[in-house]
Amino acid sequence: MNELPGVREMSVPSKLTSYFNAGVPVLAATDAGSVTAEEIASANAGVRVDADDPTALLEAAEALGTDKILSRKLGQNGIKFRQMTLSEAIAIAQYDDLIQSFAPAGGLKPAQIILSHLWGAK
């Protein structure tokens, strides 16, 4: 994965999920504080180098190519992260929890909660 230098606030590229799902380490040339870098670090599923440092990119690729144990571990971490954080079931559960957090003690259904917050309906 290669991003332009200075791209920090862009949304996480959707292809990152595919990379995690593939079970291979992610090698990303991206700024240290970027959303992409943070996601890779959260997953512990790859290596990040500065976007404008082709030497570091080559060295990281060679290191991953020769360290099969590290590469396997990073790939496994990506799969686990995708399953535990990025799966559809997890996303729905988190969304449901968020909506339920808006509910008063009366136990409204999610659609009622949304309507009550959008239009003040009960």
Tell me what pLDDT residue 122 has: 47
For the chain, state the CA radius of gyration: 19
Burial of 97 (0-12, 13-18, 19+ CB in 10 A): exposed
Among 70-74, 81-85, 108-112, the range of highest mean pLDDT: 70-74
- 36 in Cβ contact with 49 (< 8 Å): no
Query: Tens of pLDDT along 9-56?
Result: 555 567 888 899 999 999 999 888 888 899 999 999 999 999 889 999
